[in-house]
Structure 1
Amino acid sequence: MRGLSRTARAEVEERFNAVAASADLGTLAEEVFAVVDLFDREHGLRRNLSDPARPAEQKAEAVRALLTGKVGATALEVTVAAARARWSRAGDLPDTLERVGVMAAAAEAESAGRIDDVEDELFRFGRILAANPALRRALSDPAVPSERKRDLLVALLGGKVAPSTLRLVTQLVAHPRGRSLETALEEYGLIVAQIRERLVGVVRSAVPLGEQQKQRLAAWLRATYGREVHLNVEVDPKALGGFSVKIGDDYIDATIAGRIEEVRRRLAG
């Protein structure tokens, strides 16, 4: 995201943070996602509202005329802030509003004490999709109506995950916005983690880690990075022993398989 849009995103998020405390966060997330869907469908509207040459107040009035009575006051205020901002490219406006929708759902989960659950559940659902090609096809098929996909998700996840998790998964399944479901789940998971200003570490271990092992690893990573690190743990028998951790672009390989590969590379060199 380029200069103008980076500044605009910060302004919109600041406005969200200022008004979200008094809102029903679940409803706010749903309404902001609905606005994103509208802007994705109406290309002309999106271009006009993101045009930096148009007066900010003119764009704000257009949003008020379009959305007043259709979304709540908080969603309207956030959308007006997005319309008033100056964007480098038209697509950055709905992208930022989608991010705000995820932030609202994450804040909903945090207020309910379930933000850790949401992080874990988004990660696990991504792994379920990776292991079930038929399910991934059914949820990704553009020919399958969104309502049928929602019904399938309710049958699969209803009552088994946090409400915020179901809300987020339903949104990205119904409106993937050109991304694979796995990529969208990862993006949403990172935004949820950022609400807590935490890094996300993907741990691969040959055997399940005990709670004390996870706590020690998390403490070591926290000391290393100077921030909280949320651990998503995968069991991978190919690791043979030990574990690996991926945090962003960093990769720490303490597996036996990794050590064997390192010896092979040295011998080959």
Structure 2
Amino acid sequence: MTLHAASRDALAAAELRLLEVLDNPATTPGTLGEELFAVVDLLSGQPPLRRALAENSSDPSVREQLLHGLLGDKVSDATLQVLATVVTSRWSSPRELVDGVESLARTTLLVRAEREGRLDAVEDELFRLGRIVAGSHELELALSDPTAAPAGKVALVDSLVAGKVDEVTKTLVDQLVRDPRGQGVVNGLGDLAALAAKRRERSVAHVRSAVELDAEQQDRLEATLTRIYSRPIALHVEVDPTLRGGLLIKIGDEVIDGSVAGRLAALRRDLAG
């Protein structure tokens, strides 16, 4: 998600309000997150409405009145409080306002997972599901097809994960396939996993290994990378037999290639040079 300066300031104000609302014991994060996603769906399908709510030339109080008239009896007070901050702020464009509400919904659900001690599991489930989709061209096409009915894509996700993943994971994935907002499903799942990792203030190391790593090996690798980078590192590990041996590790833009295939490729480049 790329936001211009005004939208970044607006989102920061809305995130602060969101945290205040979430600190209220009466607030149910799951309900708040789902209602915010419902608003994303509403605004995505109603261009005139999102333009009206993001119209910077109008009085903020008028936009807030429009919000309450539209949703006052349909969503919780907690959701209204967060959305009031959204619509009274200055956004760079109507689309970025909707992007901001989507970001707030995702944050809310990850807070729920964090409070329930399930954030690690949600992060891992999102990553693994992303690998599953990336590994099946047919599945990726089905979930990314812009002409397919959203309900059908959600039903397909249900057939894959129902009863197998955390409720937060399911809600996040359902929203992604229902309204990808121009984002590919695989990239979207990767972004969600990274967002969960960021919630834990950790960097993500994408590790490809020629063979499966056991828990002890993963713990040692995580400890080593944490020591090297002087910050907590979360591992996302997938098996890739084409490496022939060793590991390929990517952290941000940095690549550590300790695989046999990587060393052979480097040797070929040296010989060719």
TM-score strictly above 0.5? yes
Counterpart of 1:121 (choices 122, 125, 144) is 125
| TM-score, scaled to structure 1 | 0.94
Counterpart of 2:185 (choices 178, 181, 201) is 181
Which residue of 1 is the match for residue 270 of structure 2?
Answer: 266
Written as runs of structure 1 = structure 2, the 5 A alignment for 1:11-90 is: 11-21=13-23, 22=25, 23-90=27-94
| RMSD (Å), alpha carbons | 1.6
Identity of aligned residues (%): 42
Deviations 1:56-107 (A, max 9, x none): 2222222121111111111111111111111122211111111111111111
Contact 2:140 2:186 in 1 (8 A): no
> C-alpha displacement at 1:266, in angstroms?
2.0
CA distance in 2, matches of 1:237, 1:252: 17
Letter in 1 for 2:116: A
Which residue of 2 is the match for residue 161 of structure 1?
Answer: 165
Written as runs of structure 1 = structure 2, the 5 A alignment for 1:191-230 is: 191-230=195-234
Give SS of 1:91's match: helix
**Structure 2 residue ranges without an equivalent (≥5):** none
CA distance in 2, matches of 1:199, 1:51: 37
Letter in 2 for 1:7: D
Give SS of 2:235's match: strand
Contact 1:99 1:191 in 2 (8 A): no
Give SS of 1:11's match: helix
Which residue of 2 is the match for residue 148 of structure 1?
Answer: 152
Superposition misfits of 4+ residues, deviation over 4 angstroms: none
Contact 2:64 2:84 in 1 (8 A): yes
Which residue of 1 is the match for residue 6 of structure 2?
Answer: 4
Contact 1:197 1:228 in 2 (8 A): yes
Letter in 1 for 2:195: I
The total of aligned residue pairs comes to: 269
Give SS of 2:52's match: helix
Cα gap change, 1:14 to 1:157, in 2 (>3 Å): same
> C-alpha displacement at 1:113, in angstroms?
1.4
Cα gap change, 1:225 to 1:62, in 2 (>3 Å): farther
